[in-house]
Copies of this chain bind each other. A is one copy, B any other.
Amino acid sequence: MDVGFIGLGQMGKAIAANLVRAGHRLIVWNRSAGPAEELARLGAEAAAHPRDTARAEVLMTMLADDEAARSVLLEQGVLDGARRGLVHVNLATVSVRFAQDLARVHRERGIAYVAAPVFGRPEVAREAKLNVLVAGESSAVSRVEPLLEAFAQRIWPLGSEPERANVVKLAGNFMIASALETMGEAVALARAYGIEGARLLEILTSTLFASPVYQGYGRLIAEQRFEPAAFPVRLGLKDVRLALQAGEAAHVPMPFGSVVRDSLLEAIAAGEADLDWAAVARVALRHAGLR
């Protein structure tokens, strides 16, 4: 299939590479040129202007946040220059409100819109084992499923309203953030009684909490290893904020969300914005006067 692809950060690059490997023809664009050249070496075409990507059958975007997406898609006119019948697949974690705006904007332009945010860190994307949440008009979803299969471990359909995929993604990231805070407080309690954090987490993450999130992040916390950051504190705060905003818009209080937000803010105030967001677990230690 002819696929336009915008946004070649760590995640986008890994996904685009898997699409090329699966035999699709990609035309790619990125704000900085380096990553597009990398993809070109794998066989993709580098677009001269982002608008060029919208002349493919399918446009995939993986942009950092609402602002970046708004700037590229709307202000730089990518959607205005779209080919008739284009399906736009948005892989990014955007706000629920922006998801709703985007759905409307696409409808007005006669472009099909599919939200397809993913769970998984960059190495999982490279291995083509992402969990893909997908929502949008069913015929559009069907058309792009072969593409999603090129990088998904599993595809989770969530119906025709695109923002639902974003809500599930935000709920999931909220749950990860809560797991980080939980481990932080539990480790602080254990440490105060002379038990190593690594020992506590070994016991709990190999039994009751034997899941990827607790084991993966538990290891980072046990080893106090927060660099390089697969997902930094500052982006973690963004996603928790988006979950809280989605909650607020629907009158859903989320007290755990607020506590985590405060811990993330405090980590940023302590100069840790660029560490992996697992570092938020250290905030509880500092509160207890430990380390």
A253 x B287 contact (CB < 8 A): yes
Could you tell me the distance between the alpha carbons of A26 and B250 in the complex, rounded to whole angstroms?
41
Q: How far is the CB of A213 from chain B (nearest CB, A)?
A: 5
A171 touches which of B167, B190, B211, B289 (Cβ 8 Å) = B190
Prevailing SS type, chain A contact patch: helix
A194 x B164 contact (CB < 8 A): yes
Which stretch (A37-45, A140-148, A256-264) binds chain B? Answer: A256-264
Count of this chain's copies in the oligomeric assembly: 4
Give residues of chain A (239-287) contacting chain B, Cβ–Cβ below 8 Å. 241, 243, 246-248, 250-259, 261-263, 265-266, 268-271, 284, 287
Residues of B near A253 (CB, < 8 A) are: 261-263, 265-266, 269, 284, 287-288
B251 x A265 contact (CB < 8 A): yes
B270 x A289 contact (CB < 8 A): yes
Which stretch (A51-59, A71-79, A172-180) binds chain B? Answer: A172-180
Residues of B near A213 (CB, < 8 A) are: 208-209
Q: How far is the CB of A94 from chain B (nearest CB, A)?
A: 14
Q: Which of A170, A182, A268 has the most CB of B within 10 A?
A: A182
In the complex, A229 has a CB within 8 A of chain B: no
In the complex, A98 has a CB within 8 A of chain B: no
B210 x A251 contact (CB < 8 A): no
In the complex, A186 has a CB within 8 A of chain B: yes
In the complex, A204 has a CB within 8 A of chain B: yes
Range class of the A interface residue count: 35 or more
Contact pattern, A 139-176, Cβ under 8 Å of B = 1, otherwise 0? 00000000000000010101001011001101110111
A200 touches which of B168, B178, B207 (Cβ 8 Å) = B168
Can you list 11 A-B contacts with CB-CB less than 8 angstroms, sorted by A residue number? Answer: A156-B203, A164-B194, A164-B195, A167-B190, A168-B190, A171-B189, A193-B250, A208-B211, A247-B288, A255-B258, A265-B288
Closest 7 CB pairs of A and B: A269-B289, A258-B258, A211-B211, A192-B250, A253-B262, A251-B269, A252-B288
